């Protein structure tokens, strides 16, 4: 009995050890990815500030900082997917942020607001640009504050899927081109938004269409597939009877038929796909669990196939 118990304990220890090594490997992989992303976003923040100042014809206080600004612009002039924060560029950003013109531009005058979380990366740019940089928990929390969160999904015992959620506001979407190896974009569009006018000028569906157009036609995603979720179909069927879709989209002539209306909205999204990406649309009814299981099984297969294609030798 003692011998059997010892064997069981040994097996448990081995399993625990394997699990620990796996968790450590996952942790290091996650930090390595965040390292690249944070470095790209840090230089992107500096680039946006320099670009905005140049558009307003604002000068820097020293010739050296003019050169630093030129270095940052040149670094970002290439394909954004291959941008990296070198030590020299990190020093240029650090010196530039001591310039009185930059301080006034980002903190006092002209109404330019750095997106929440951005100041953290600029303040620590020398640490982030160092050769041995490893992202801290504070770095990742500030990434979240900028509207970027990530989750790791375990598709199988040997395959993990990293999902990044980017808030659908103008500030957060600036960082989309800085993501590496994006195989699939999942875009959510509530069907009921066709009559929503949050600012009194443009309804949310029109904004969603504009956003979708900018994403699917971004050259950084020319090999990416898109899963389009048209959500809240049940609420949409109820609303279409009371609020006419043609009131907001005059070219629609299908009346109160929810199926025709949903097809028209899908057509609107598909029409802006000038890049001819593979788009996989799905109508989502959150109260229908069978529907959700079917949809997500299909999406899972699509994502896995895209990941396999991306990892295949070219």
CATH 3.40.50.300 location in the chain: 181-314
CATH 1.10.400.10-classified regions of the chain: 1-149
The yes-or-no verdict on residue 300 having pLDDT over 80 is no
- CA-based nearest residue to 54, from 6, 97, 101: 101
| CB 280 within 8 Å of CB 216 | no
Q: Identify whether the C-beta of residue 295 lies closer than 8 Å to the C-beta of residue 166.
A: no
Higher pLDDT, 244 or 289: 244
Q: What is the pTM of this model?
A: 0.62
Lowest mean pLDDT among 9-18, 126-135, 212-221: 9-18
Average pLDDT over residues 196-210: 79
Mean pLDDT of 276-305: 80
What's the average model confidence in pLDDT over 55-61? 90
Structure tokens at 72: 């940052």
pLDDT of 207 reads 86
Distances (CA, A) of 50 to 101, 154, 297: 11, 41, 45
Label each residue of the chain as H, E or C: CHHHHHHHHHHHHHHHHHHHHHHHHHHHHHHHHHHHHHHHHHHHHHHHHHHHHHHCCCCCCCHHHHHHHHHHHHHCCCCHHHCCCCHHHHHHHHHHCCCHHHHHHHHCCCCCCCCCCHHHHHHCHHHHCCCCCCCCHHHHHHHHHCCEEEEEEECCCCCEEEEEEECCCHHHHCCHHHCCCCCEEEEEEEHHHHHCCCCCCCCHHHHHHHHHHHHHCCHHHCCCEEEEEEECHHHHHHHHHHCCHHHCCCCCCCCCCHHHHHHHHHHHHHHCCCCCCCEEEEECCCCCHHHHHHHHHHHHHHHHHHHHHHHCCC
Residue 173 near residue 184, CB atoms below 8 Å:
no
Instruction: Mean pLDDT check: name the lowest of 162-171, 232-241, 274-283.
Output: 162-171
Per-residue buried b or exposed e for 139-155, using 16+ beta carbons within 10 Å of the residue's own CB: bbebbeebbbebeeeee
pLDDT at 104: 86
> For 270, phi and psi rounded to 5 degrees?
-70, -30
The fold adopted by the segment(s) 181-314 is Rossmann fold (3.40.50)
DSSP β-bridge partners for residue 186: 227
Out of 73-77, 191-195, 265-269, 286-290, the most confident range is 265-269
Q: Does pLDDT of 205 surpass 80?
A: yes
Q: The domain 1-149: what is its CATH number? A: 1.10.400.10
As beta bridge partners, residue 151 has: 163
pLDDT of residue 25: 44
Lowest mean pLDDT, pick from 198-212, 236-250, 264-278: 198-212
pLDDT for residue 64: 94
The tens digit of pLDDT for each residue in 87-137 reads 999 999 999 999 999 988 887 655 566 777 788 999 999 999 999 999 988
């Amino acid at each position: 009995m003692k011998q059997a118990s010892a064997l069981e304990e040994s097996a448990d220890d081995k399993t625990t050890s394997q699990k620990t090594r796996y968790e450590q490997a996952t942790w290091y992989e996650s930090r390595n990815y965040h390292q690249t992303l944070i470095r790209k976003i840090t230089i992107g923040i500096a680039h946006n500030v320099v670009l905005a100042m140049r558009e307003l014809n604002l000068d820097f206080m020293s010739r050296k900082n003019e050169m630093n600004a030129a270095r940052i612009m040149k670094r970002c002039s290439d394909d954004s997917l291959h941008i990296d924060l070198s030590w020299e560029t990190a020093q240029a950003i650090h010196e530039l942020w001591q310039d009185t013109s930059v301080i006034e531009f980002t903190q006092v005058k002209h109404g330019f607001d750095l997106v929440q979380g951005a100041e953290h990366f600029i303040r620590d740019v020398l640490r982030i640009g160092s050769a041995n940089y490893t992202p801290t928990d504070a770095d990742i929390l500030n990434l979240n504050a900028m509207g970027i969160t990530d989750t790791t999904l375990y598709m199988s015992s040997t395959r993990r899927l990293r999902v990044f959620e980017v808030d659908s506001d103008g500030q957060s979407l600036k960082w989309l081109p800085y993501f590496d190896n994006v195989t699939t974009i999942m875009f959510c569009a509530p069907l009921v938004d066709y009559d929503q006018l949050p600012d009194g000028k443009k309804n949310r569906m029109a904004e969603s269409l504009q956003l979708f157009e900018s994403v699917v036609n971004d050259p950084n995603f020319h090999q990416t597939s898109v899963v389009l979720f048209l959500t809240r179909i049940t609420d949409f069927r109820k609303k279409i009877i009371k609020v006419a879709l043609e009131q907001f989209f005059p070219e629609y002539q299908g009346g109160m038929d929810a199926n025709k209306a949903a097809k028209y909205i899908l057509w609107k999204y598909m029409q802006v796909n000038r890049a001819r990406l593979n788009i996989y649309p799905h109508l989502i009814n959150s109260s229908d669990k069978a529907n959700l299981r079917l949809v997500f099984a299909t999406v899972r297969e699509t994502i896995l196939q895209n990941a396999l294609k991306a990892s295949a030798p070219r």
